[in-house]
Structure 1
Amino acid sequence: MKKTLVIGASTNPERYSFKAINSLVNHKHTVVAIGQKTGEVAGVKIQSKAIPVTKIHTVTLYLNAIAQRDYYNYIIGLEPKRVVFNPGTENPEFYQLLKANGIKYEESCTLVLLATNQY
């Protein structure tokens, strides 16, 4: 199982980050979540600020490119195996930083990856 950090997490059932947390939990992945507001989704507590975490395999983003800037150093410091840029989060500037730090990235959809057993 791949420990996953969801950044841009929401308690709104209509948001894709909410659906992703549920799907990740259903697929037995350990989930850590950061969002603008605290809350809980599928038993996962959403933190409202970057928190220290270890052994993150995947970071999945639900923030636009401008909002991601606040997390560049944090994400790179976690040394994840990969960062997933969900639709609407594409960010060539961040791709270059990740590549320079030996972190893989992909433009994909976490929900599709999970549904097709490609996660």
Structure 2
Amino acid sequence: MSKKTVILGATTNPMRYAYLAAERLKAHDHEIVPVGIKKGDVFGEQILDLREKPTIDDVHTVTMYVGPRNQQEWEDYILSLNPKRIIFNPGAENPSLDEKANKKGIETLKACTLVMLSNKLY
């Protein structure tokens, strides 16, 4: 079953984990919505400008590739997407956002999207 996934911190740089996550999510037939501050295309999907806080419907997962210091100004936006879960990839852990998400009934995981996909846990 496809899980619509917002990749927060999306990039066109193939050396970044956010790029690898986009590639693997697509390979596993998940719909991706790349969102970031960089412009470009990721596997046929236009990167939406985070600064514009784009409206995205039916989000299953937000996978975080933005460090906690840079997440703060986007916390309300992330929560407004009403995802079923947020994955805090290594380096993106954020106790404040984690707590706010849990209070809204959003599942949070401190995990690696790439590992979850390879272990069929996604």
> Under TM normalisation by the shorter chain, which class is it?
over 0.9
Deviation of 1:37 after TM superposition, in Å, equals 1.1
The runs of 4+ residues in structure 1 deviating greater than 3 Å are none
Secondary structure of the residue that 2:47 maps to in structure 1?
strand
C-alpha displacement at 1:35, in angstroms?
Answer: 1.3
Please say if residues 4 and 32 of structure 2, whose CA atoms lie closer than 8 Å, have aligned partners that are also in contact: yes
Residue by residue, what CA displacement relative to the aligned partner does 1:65-118 show, whole Å, maximum 9, x if unpaired? 011112211111111100000000011111111111111100000001111110
User: Which of 110, 114, 118 in structure 1 is aligned with 2:113?
Assistant: 110
Structure 2: distance between partners of 1:77 and 1:104: 14
| 1:21 shift after superposition | 0.3
Q: Distance in 2 between matches of 1:6 and 1:34?
A: 6
Identical columns (%): 40
Measure, in 2, the Cα distance between the counterparts of 1:115 and 1:73: 31
Pairing 1:36–2:56 present: no
**Which stretch shows the higher mean deviation, 82-91 or 71-80?**
71-80
Give 2:54's match in structure 1, choosing from 48, 51, 62.
Answer: 51
CA distance in 1, matches of 2:5, 2:13: 19
Match runs of 1:46-85 below 5 Å = 46-49=47-50, 50-85=53-88
When normalised by structure 2's length, the TM-score is 0.94
Shift of 1:38: 1.1
Gaps of 5+ in 2: none
User: What count of residue pairs does the alignment treat as equivalent?
Assistant: 119
For the aligned residue pairs, the C-alpha RMSD in angstroms reads: 0.8
Gaps of 5+ in 1: none
- TM-score normalized by the length of structure 1: 0.96
